[in-house]
Structure 1
Amino acid sequence: MKKMMTLIICAVVALSITACASSGTAAKTPITETTAITEATAITETTAITEITAIPKSTTPANTNPDTMIANPFVDCQTMETAAEVAGFEFRSPEQVEGISEKKIQAVDQEMIQVIYSADENQILIRKAPGTRNISGDYNNYQKEETITVAEMQVTLKGNDGVISLATWSANDYSYSIYVSAGMAQDSIVSLVQAIH
């Protein structure tokens, strides 16, 4: 009888220990798994948001991504007549400038015509576009800047060391600009302004 009671007590104790152990494991497992999943999700989402925010602002300039680069809008034209058809207006410029007859004519659809005269390291860029804005594309600072009157037009001249590198003006609802990479004497650039329309 004593042996039987001892066996029953042992069995009850064993079952209690097993139940407690099972209960403890069951209680701990969901908490650990839930915690792990929640933390992993939070870290991933935070990291993803931080990386997405940081890329455009700091590490990836907009112009380095081929998908976001702006295509060259200029169309090469064989004649000024073709350029006029593309741009939607006429433009007259000299056959040669400062003895330079090598030139390239380009136009932007309904926006601009430009003529580039090139010789050695000197480049002369003449532009015309509708409106009254600065269309030169040259935003450098120059030692000299003055506005003079040429054929009733107010022409702004900019340059360094006694030569003019940039002339800009507006007339008859169009903007004009002349950029000379090597610089030009003021009298010469005034004559060029008078020859352009």
Structure 2
Amino acid sequence: MKKLAPILLSLTLAGSLSLPALAASTTANPPTASSAPASGYTLQVNGTETGLEGCMMVPLRALAENLGFTVTWNGSSIRVDSDRVHTDVTPGVDRYVITTSLDGMVGMSAPFSLGCPPCVSNGTTYVPLALFDALLGSEDAITGDSGTISIQTTPSSQIPNPFVSCTTLAEADEQAGFSLTLPADCHISSLSVVPHTMIQANRADGLTIRKAVGSEDISGDYHPYSQSETVSVSGKSITLKGECQLVMVALWTADDYTYAIQSETGLSRDAMLALAAEVA
């Protein structure tokens, strides 16, 4: 059986998005708010379920800018930013993370997939429509019925901030349910916790140290850096990522936890490894 190709739609935006009809021999059931998400279709042939699902793809820049987002290229990825939340989209990669853009707020979603990777056709980048559900911070932002997709926005649309501020490392350890060991003289400016999930320590110079339950990449930095290597230090297998001989991210796992050090300005290889060796 042939694979279902993504549906590439050129949209005319005027408050609602009109969808073209499919061929008469194939019925696409438009999703409703109470059934399927507005980004996809279940497919029938002559009234019989096929078990196939279609992913609705929309032009990224045209829709994002109509919703008040800015769209900029960052090397091989595309940044979509509302000044409240942002995501980096990479053509061909079905992996997305939504991160807060607000100063003083650090929150991010877990990495997720949407069934179709972004793709480029005739110079236009297309993404799954469901990405805008996540960017708008509501599963009800996009609904569809009777051949029309409707998008409702609110000025405060953003992912909730999951972090709780702490004044001491002991308080952070108690909130998280596990402990974080920081390097000596680390000069932490703020501490926050996702209860029972993550501890985050911030330095005033833009350095962030995180420890969390599990093995996911928790750095919050998913830029495709040109330099990457894995180094063994103090029994840890540490992955370093960066550019121009500066390390921006260090990642590793140990026991049932994952760790990340992320620097906004970059550190030397030796400086990053020295920090990582003391974090536990």
Normalising by the smaller structure, the TM-score range is 0.5 to 0.7
Structure 2 residue 202 is matched with structure 1 residue 144: no
- Give 1:81's aligned amino acid: A
Would the alpha carbon gap of residues 185 and 129 (structure 1) be closer, same or farther in structure 2, given more than 3 Å must change?
same
Matched, 1:117 2:203: yes
Match in the other structure for 1:181: 264
Q: Does 1:91 pair with 2:150?
A: no
Runs of 4+ in 1 over 6 A off after TM superposition: 50-54
Range moving further from structure 2, 161-170 or 60-69: 60-69
2:182 is paired with a residue whose SS is coil
Task: Give CA-to-partner distance per residue, 1:58-87, whole Å, 9 cap, x none.
Answer: 676431436864321101100011111111
**Equivalent residue, structure 2, for 1:104:** 190
Residue aligning to 1:164: 247
RMSD: 2.8
- Structure 2 CA distance for aligned equivalents of residues 69 and 189 of structure 1: 32
The residue type equivalent to 2:257 in the other structure is Y
Q: Secondary structure at the match of 1:105?
A: strand
Distance 1:102 1:84 in 2: 15
User: Structure 2 counterpart of 1:104, which letter?
Assistant: S
The gaps in structure 1 that reach 5 residues or longer are 1-47
Cα distance in 2 for residues equivalent to 1:102 and 1:70: 26
**Any unmatched runs of 5+ in structure 2?**
1-15, 20-29, 33-37, 40-62, 68-131, 137-152
Aligned to 1:133: 216
User: Is the 2:188–2:201 Cα contact (8 Å) retained in structure 1?
Assistant: no
Q: TM-score, normalised by structure 2?
A: 0.46
Question: Relative contact order, CA 8 A, sep 6+: which one is greater?
Answer: 1
Indicate whether 1:65 and 2:154 are aligned: yes
User: Which is helix-richer, 1 or 2?
Assistant: 1
**SS of corresponding position for 1:187:** helix
In 2, the alpha carbon distance for the partners of 1:113 and 1:149 equals 24
One-letter amino acid of the structure 1 residue matched with residue 154 of structure 2:
N
2:229–2:240 Cα contact (<8 Å) kept: yes
Report SS of the residue matched to 1:166. Answer: strand
How far off is 1:141 after superposition?
1.1
SS of residue paired to 1:146 = strand
Structure 2: distance between partners of 1:139 and 1:179: 11
Over 3 Å counting, the alpha-carbon distance change for 1:70 and 1:151 in structure 2 is: same
1:67 & 1:181 partners in 2: Cα distance?
Answer: 27
| Structure 1 residues 142 and 67: CA distance shift in structure 2, 3 A | closer
Alpha-carbon distance in structure 1 between the residues aligned to 2:174 and 2:241: 32
2:238 to 149, 155, 159: 155
Give the secondary structure class of the aligned counterpart of 2:165. Answer: strand
CA distance in 2, matches of 1:164, 1:115: 18
Corresponding residue SS for 2:171: helix
Higher strand share: 2
In percent, how many aligned pairs have the same letter?
Answer: 33
Structure with the greater alpha carbon radius of gyration: 1
Give the secondary structure class of the aligned counterpart of 2:272: helix
Taking a change above 3 Å as real, the CA distance of residues 67 and 124 of structure 1, as seen in their structure-2 partners, is closer
Q: Which of 61, 64, 77 is the aligned partner of 2:166?
A: 77
Letter in 2 for 1:77: C
Instruction: Give the total of aligned pairs.
Output: 143
